[in-house]
Amino acid sequence: MNLYFRDYHAGSRLALVRRVDAPASGNPPVLRSEEAGGYEQLRLARDAACFASDHAALAPVNREVWQQLADGDIITVNEEGLVHRLFSGRERAATVYLTGHCNSNCIMCPVSDEERRTSGGLADEAMMAYLQMLPADVRHITVTGGEPTLRTALFLRTMRTIAVRFRQADVLLLTNGRSFSLQGFLQELLHLCPAHLCVAIPLHAPEAGLHDAITRAPGSFVQTNEGIGNLLAQGIAVELRVVVSRKNAAYLPELADFIVAHYPEVHVVNFIGLETRGNCARHLQALYLDAPAAFRAVQPAVLKLMEHGIDVQLYNFPLCAVAPGFWEICRRSITPEKIRYALACGDCAARPYCGGFFQTTLAMTKPHVQPIPRTALFMDNRDTQDAHASERSGREV
């Protein structure tokens, strides 16, 4: 979302948006300090706005800001007036982004080295304020990075706050799992842990040489596997994520054997198509498989896992790249703002159910698509809204 306040001079802020529906007055809306609660609010009228804490006024408000910011949104505004939305008031799913930094440097990471180095996330107290601003009835929280456990103290504080404030929420932690090789760290988390926690960990190969070549972090295979084992031993749900590329495509059946042998109790295994930006875009030649080729590579591993009673899902696989018998395990995993479709998708009866492509993948690879005729579609009666809603919990990889 590229929004900005013109002529902005109020400094960087984290604020909860409150829309004021009173007729436009040309003056900043009046806001008594006691209305602000314990944290910053942005009172937004059609043509003016002000911050609650100090009545710093912003005027005029651009049309785009008025149209796109909703009541309940949580935003940051930087010194230049650029707005970044951390939470949408229209949804009940929240992302908690702790840091861009990571102790691995995966060759197919959709984030570039530069982004990871420079993106530090909110300051500690701003993160606590953000968690308090979120509505108490948030249903799904994704804690992510970079590697979110690297900010150790903030990570543990965040998880404890979530455990107390959002008792009913499903919490998905996206991590490379290496920190959980340390029993002391795991015990700190378990001290006050969200009740409905699932830890999603990438596993790239069945052996150290290839896994570590993909993460470009020597020792990561051993640490990640120790982390997975430690979490499972404590009864924490673990989701394994396998990003499919030229590097590991030939080894997926062996990886499935490895998972069956070592982690039969795993919650789910998700095979994930590439997002061609950041490191992935930089190493495109060495990594890229088109979606049909990625599906052909994945299929035997999927069947092996299913034969052993392990749930499997496919993320970032357009339906026309997948054999119809596997459509049910395809998830609309791409964040709605990033989804794009090819021109030919306009003729496809499956488009309402298809997760499409990342904007960057479509632009860079110009994939061939095969529109699916209505006669081939077995999901005619499936409710599109349900399809959208059911994917929310697993999206954004």
- Is 362 a binding residue for ligand SF4 by CB under 6 A? The answer is no
Near ligand SF4 by CB under 6 A: residue from 198, 320, 329, 362 = 320
Name the nearest CA neighbour of 130 among 149, 154, 100, 102. 154
Closer Cβ to ligand SF4, 126 or 342, answer by number: 342
- Is 351 a binding residue for ligand SF4 by CB under 6 A? The answer is yes
Near ligand SF4 by CB under 6 A: residue from 127, 350, 362, 397 = 350
Give least dist CB 95 to ligand SF4, A: 25
d(CA 103, CA 236): 23
Hey, what amino acid is at 226? Answer: E
- Is residue 381 classed exposed, middle or buried when 0-12, 13-18 and 19+ CB atoms within 10 A define those classes? exposed
Give least dist CB 103 to ligand SF4, A: 35
Give least dist CB 314 to ligand SF4, A: 13
Four-CA torsion 320, 321, 323, 327, nearest 10 degrees: -70
Give least dist CB 339 to ligand SF4, A: 10
Residues of span 92-151 touching ligand SF4 by CB under 6 A = none
- Is 371 a binding residue for ligand SF4 by CB under 6 A? The answer is yes
End-to-end CA distance of the chain: 19
Strand 196-202 relative to strand 170-174, pairing: parallel
Residues of span 330-349 touching ligand SF4 by CB under 6 A = 341-342, 345, 348
- Is residue 69 classed exposed, middle or buried when 0-12, 13-18 and 19+ CB atoms within 10 A define those classes? buried
Lookup: tokens for 341: 């479709």
Alpha helices for 20-148 (secondary structure H):
63-68, 113-118, 124-133
Closer Cβ to ligand SF4, 135 or 371, answer by number: 371
Contact pattern for ligand SF4 over residues 280 through 319, marking x by CB under 6 A = --------------------------------------xx
Q: CB–CB of 51/41 below 8 Å?
A: yes
Give least dist CB 374 to ligand SF4, A: 12
Near ligand SF4 by CB under 6 A: residue from 313, 369, 392, 395 = 369
Near ligand SF4 by CB under 6 A: residue from 109, 172, 242, 354 = 354
Give least dist CB 347 to ligand SF4, A: 8
Rg (CA), the chain: 22
Closer Cβ to ligand SF4, 50 or 330, answer by number: 330
Near ligand SF4 by CB under 6 A: residue from 172, 372, 395, 397 = 372
Name the nearest CA neighbour of 245 among 203, 277, 286. 286
Give least dist CB 340 to ligand SF4, A: 10
Closer Cβ to ligand SF4, 236 or 354, answer by number: 354
Q: Can you spell out the DSSP letters for 190-243?
A: HHT--TEEEEEEE---SSHHHHHHHHT-TTHHHHHHHHHHHHHHTT-EEEEEEE
- Is 200 a binding residue for ligand SF4 by CB under 6 A? The answer is no
Lookup: tokens for 60: 């005029």
- Give how many residues touch ligand SF4 by CB under 6 A: 15
Give least dist CB 367 to ligand SF4, A: 8
Lookup: tokens for 43: 């009172």
Residues contributing to the site for ligand SF4 (CB under 6 A): 318-320, 341-342, 345, 348, 350-351, 354, 356, 369-372
